[in-house]
Amino acid sequence: MSKEILNRVVSNSPITIHQMSNKSYSKFQEEVSLKYGFIGLKLDKLSLTAEVSEEFHSEILSGNFTLYDYFGVVEPNLNRNGELASYKGQFFNDEKENWYIEYTPVASIKMNKRPLKIEFTPSKVSKKNFLIVFHRMFPYMFNIAISTFHLAYDFERDLSALRVNWPKVMYRPIYKGMKLETMDFGAPKGNYHLTAYNKLKERMDSGDMAEIEIYQQYDNLWRIEYKFYNEGNIKKELKNGLPFLAKIPVYIENFKGLEFNNLGVNEKIYLFALRNKPELFAESDKRTVAKYKKLAESISEVNLNVFFQNALDFVEIFNQEPCLINFFEFMNSMLQGDIPKLTINQE
């Protein structure tokens, strides 16, 4: 293993970017890993929808397919005509992993949507349970679509100086005292959402004892999370290689550098407004917006967008027997109803 790989930032991730060879790890990625402590990319949430065979409907009514809630086995919900209206619950009984299954045959006809939904978090489930669920479910499923997925990029650095150049959407900064802890971008019912937040603080405040023990080993841990919504939009994104990752510039700002200090007072005020209140620029003309975008880029240390797309070849899933997968190969396999390839060649 090369000296460069050995010197990359230490990580507690079960599979880390450090395992990549020079052949697959660009110089730009090496620099970002060293300078900004990039740990890895996780597929953090995934929701599938699908049509199902008649057999699945019959299996529920006969009791051969059962779901669970806190109290035990969930009974199918029948309408007044004795027809199966819905069946919702967890795939496993007494299991901490979230494997939510929802089957709504009656409502799906009225709303013209697929009747089955499977929702889980690939980075937080075990490989064993993943295989159990989809070996059982895929034979029933066809016309599969993806309605939601999240991509989570983790960094062992304080990214409170991060700037997202998305001036015409809602932006919600959340502070604790004087410290910025969350930056939230996107319309409530839009196709995209982007959140950057202090993952260490969030887990230390709300995690269980096992999580706290893991996360307290970090000095800093920030997450940049892209959230994709709506089946039609996701289909286009997957077909075109996730162009949204390159569309909205994401920068690390340097407010202490010479470039920023040499700006005039009004320019500094505009830059702070662009960062903290981008909606104020919604009524500005394109020339004004372009001017301050360019000015913001001039004080930025690095544009992370290219890095975000490059990392899609090395996405982490599973909390036990973790695997690295190629994002597009994994998603295409799921859409085809096939068990994805769960190993990646590390030449």
Query: Quick check: 327 pLDDT over 80?
Result: yes
What pTM, to 2 d.p., does this model score? 0.80
What is the DSSP secondary-structure string of 225-237? EEEEE-HHHHHHH
User: Given pLDDT bands bounded at 50, 70 and 90, which one contains residue 179?
Assistant: low
- The tens digit of pLDDT for each residue in 286-322 reads 787 777 767 766 666 667 777 788 889 889 999 888 8
- The tens digit of pLDDT for each residue in 47-59 reads 999 999 999 999 9
More confident residue, 15 or 170: 170
pLDDT, residue 27, reads 64
Let me know: does 45 contact 195? Beta carbons within 8 Å. no
pLDDT, residue 299, reads 64
pLDDT, residue 328, reads 97
Computed over every residue of the chain, the mean pLDDT equals 82
Q: Give the Cα separation of 128 and 133 in Å (integer).
A: 9
Q: Give the Cα separation of 130 and 91 in Å (integer).
A: 11
Query: Quick check: 140 pLDDT over 60?
Result: yes
The mean per-residue pLDDT over the stretch 132-145 comes to 98
Q: Give the Cα separation of 189 and 193 in Å (integer).
A: 9
More confident residue, 192 or 171: 192
Tokens of 211: 């999580």
CA 122 to chain centre: 10
Helices 265-276 and 286-298, axial angle in degrees (round to 10): 100
- Helix, strand, coil tally for the chain in percent (to 5): 35, 30, 35
The mean per-residue pLDDT over the stretch 262-273 comes to 73
Q: Give the Cα separation of 121 and 123 in Å (integer).
A: 6
pLDDT, residue 174, reads 67
> Any idea where the domains of the chain sit in the sequence?
3-43+151-312, 47-149+326-336
Q: In sequence order, what are the residues at sequence separation of 6 or more whose Cβ sits closer than 8 angstroms to the Cβ of residue 317?
A: 42, 43, 122, 123, 130, 323, 325, 330, 342
- The tens digit of pLDDT for each residue in 13-49 reads 433 434 443 444 556 666 767 777 888 899 999 999 9
| Total residue length of the chain | 347
User: Given pLDDT bands bounded at 50, 70 and 90, which one contains residue 235?
Assistant: very high
Residue bearing tokens 């009225």: 110
Q: Give the Cα separation of 144 and 105 in Å (integer).
A: 15
Q: Give the Cα separation of 201 and 216 in Å (integer).
A: 10
Identify the burial level of 319 via C-beta atoms within 10 angstroms of its C-beta, where 0-12 means exposed, 13-18 middle and 19 or more buried: middle
More confident residue, 202 or 132: 132
Query: Quick check: 269 pLDDT over 50?
Result: yes
More confident residue, 217 or 270: 217
* Strand order, beta sheet including 250-253: 162-164, 250-253, 300-303
What is the DSSP secondary-structure string of 60-112? HHHTSS--EETTEEPPPEE-TTS-EEEEEEESSSS-SS-EEEEE-HHHHHHHT
More confident residue, 248 or 175: 248
pLDDT, residue 177, reads 60
Q: Give the Cα separation of 16 and 264 in Å (integer).
A: 43
The mean per-residue pLDDT over the stretch 52-80 comes to 95
- φ/ψ region of 240 (left if φ > 0, alpha if ψ in -120 to 50, else beta) reads alpha
